[in-house]
Amino acid sequence: MSITSNQTYSQVREHLPEKRRLVYDAIKEMKSCTFYDVANYLRLEINQVSNRFNELLFAGYIKVIGSEKNGIYERDLYTIIENKSEIIKTQEKLYQGYIDSKSELEQDFHRCQTNEGKNLLRKRINHLKTKINNLKEIAI
């Protein structure tokens, strides 16, 4: 790992909550892993780890680099993103995707004729607003 990679790693790490930091450190240590690998490595339940993977993935700090077959199941392999510019690019792409989805849902909301439909769309819009705000808070 280069000096800039170490700086990026440290910069990301210092802003993570404890459980997310623990998983992030394990992914870095293992280089290429599934969330099952990390759960075993940390001796945690799978649901304690898989949620942290999703949070790190949707923050743009880790990425899928392939998959492995385990019996009949195929599992994604993850690694940390070491390059600061790649993290920024990933976060910008996620942000734009959230904004576009929110805009489409808002258009659907205005066309919707039923209260049930509007309530469902409102929940989805609020969920995307939360994702957008969370991404703004953690963006590098």
Q: Tell me, yes or no, whether 58 and 17 share the same domain.
A: yes
pLDDT at 3 over 60: no
SS3 (DSSP) at 77: strand
| pTM as predicted | 0.82
* Residue 43: both structure tokens together: 């001796």
- Which domain, by its residues, includes 115? 85-138
Residues 88, 137: contact at Cβ < 8 Å? no
Q: CA–CA distance from 88 to each of 29, 31, 82, 94, 119 (Å)? A: 22, 21, 11, 10, 34
Q: How many domains does the chain have?
A: 2
Give the H/E segment covering residue 73.
strand 73-80
What's 26's domain CATH number?
A: 1.10.10.10
Say what percent of the chain tops pLDDT 90.
78
Residues 139, 105: contact at Cβ < 8 Å? no
Q: Tell me, yes or no, whether 69 and 114 share the same domain.
A: no
* 19 pLDDT tier (thresholds 50, 70, 90): very high
pLDDT digits (tens, 9 = 90+) for 22-44: 999 999 999 999 999 999 999 99
